[in-house]
């Protein structure tokens, strides 16, 4: 099965569960192929956990769900060393992070200290416990969900951790027709229970290798960097996007090109991904927040003023 077919079959499999969320499913598959992590933010009841479960079940790899609560400890995630009196040595006890796909459910309901324990594994794909490094299995991906920070009992994710997510996706309420379809799709059984894998770990690892081989013209690279650097010069932006954002935007564009069946990136690949890849990395000034100016609106405006390579 060719790469385009694998990626689109995963998105279609997610669509067997999620109604009216083909765009979100596509972005999640692109993020998976790019080797990144995804943050899904929206109000309760939209289907954040369901779409994350659907992606995990579409791939025949190990999966673990971590329900983040205020009392969860960093060692619950990364693991810890326990003394074995029989051998007289300390043995590593794996934490819940040791799986291919991790669903970090309601990640902003736990303390900043526990949130910070995810930084190393999301960037380096290993954890360090008592000075010893342990690799997580490959392919590895974190799918995190969170409620908007205005909701009670939430702790805003630190900027360093937000920057580790390749994309942030918001799903939004379904329209009336889709909501009626949701009623009847879940009327008798949960369609998640019948979902079968359509890809395996080796295929995902191969997808990630192929993504890196997708051709990117120098002009496209200049276009990406110009967009990212422009975020640092905007009137309403306190902190723009870092060079890591440029790397992530190019990698995501390569993955989208592969999804579309091309071996090269076009400007539209970049434009389609600007908001999901960059918006969550920007910090707006307080007066901008008061005026209800969003990172998404800033990005939509600046991209219109940047010359698109032909």
- Please write the tens of the pLDDT for every residue from 250-264: 999 999 999 999 999
Average pLDDT value for the chain: 92
Cα 130 to Cα 83, 135, 271: the distances in Å are 12, 14, 44
Domain limits of the chain?
214-310
Q: What is the pLDDT of residue 154?
A: 74
Residue 155: per-residue pLDDT: 79
The pLDDT value given to residue 172: 86
Please give the share of the chain, as a percent, with pLDDT higher than 70: 98
pLDDT at 151 over 80: no
* Local confidence band at 211 (pLDDT 50, 70, 90 cut-offs): very high
How confident is the model over 272-284, as pLDDT tens digits?
A: 999 999 999 999 9
pLDDT, average across residues 290-303: 94
Higher pLDDT, 130 or 251: 251
Kindly indicate the confidence band of residue 285, based on its pLDDT and cuts at 50, 70 and 90.
Answer: very high
Closest by Cα among 112, 276, 100, 282 to 204: 100
Contacts of 173 (CB under 8 A, 6+ apart): 46, 179
Q: How confident is the model at residue 153 (pLDDT cuts 50, 70, 90)?
A: low
Reported as a pLDDT band with limits 50, 70 and 90, residue 222 is: very high
Topology of domain 214-310, CATH? Helicase, Ruva Protein; domain 3 (1.10.8)
What is the model's pLDDT at position 120?
86
Say yes or no to pLDDT of 135 above 60.
Answer: yes
Rounded Cα–Cα distance for residues 221 and 285 (Å): 28
> How does pLDDT run across 224-244, given as a tens digit for each residue?
999 999 999 999 999 999 999
pLDDT of residue 150: 59
| Predicted confidence band of residue 152 (pLDDT cuts 50, 70, 90) | low
Confidence of residue 6 (pLDDT cuts 50, 70, 90): very high
């Amino acid at each position: 099965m060719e790469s385009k077919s694998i990626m689109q079959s995963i998105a279609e499999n997610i669509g067997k569960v999620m109604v009216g969320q083909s765009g979100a499913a596509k972005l999640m598959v692109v993020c998976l192929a790019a080797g990144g992590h995804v943050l899904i933010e929206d109000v309760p009841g939209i289907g954040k956990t369901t779409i994350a479960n659907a992606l995990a079940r579409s791939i025949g790899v190990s999966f673990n769900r971590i329900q983040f609560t205020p009392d969860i400890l960093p060692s619950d995630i990364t693991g810890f060393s326990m003394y074995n009196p029989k051998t007289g040595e300390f043995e590593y006890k794996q934490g819940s992070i040791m799986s291919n796909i991790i669903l970090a459910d309601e990640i902003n309901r736990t303390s900043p200290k526990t949130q910070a324990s995810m930084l190393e594994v999301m960037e380096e794909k290993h954890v360090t416990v008592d000075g010893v490094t342990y690799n997580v299995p490959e392919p590895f991906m974190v799918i995190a969900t969170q409620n908007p920070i205005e909701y009670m009992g939430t702790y805003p994710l630190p900027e360093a951790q937000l920057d580790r997510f390749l994309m942030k996706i918001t799903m939004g309420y379904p329209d009336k027709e889709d909501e009626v379809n949701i009623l009847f799709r879940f009327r008798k059984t949960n369609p998640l229970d019948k979902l079968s894998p359509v890809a395996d770990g080796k295929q995902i690892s191969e997808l990630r290798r192929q993504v890196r081989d997708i051709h990117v013209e120098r002009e496209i690279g200049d276009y990406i960097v110009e967009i990212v650097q422009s975020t640092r010069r905007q009137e309403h932006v306190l902190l723009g996007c870092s060079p890591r954002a440029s790397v992530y935007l190019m990698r995501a564009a390569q993955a989208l090109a592969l999804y579309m069946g091309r071996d090269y990136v076009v400007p539209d690949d970049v434009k389609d991904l600007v908001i999901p890849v960059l918006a969550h990395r920007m910090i707006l000034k307080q007066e901008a927040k008061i005026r209800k100016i969003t990172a998404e609106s800033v990005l939509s405006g600046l991209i219109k003023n940047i010359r698109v390579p032909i």
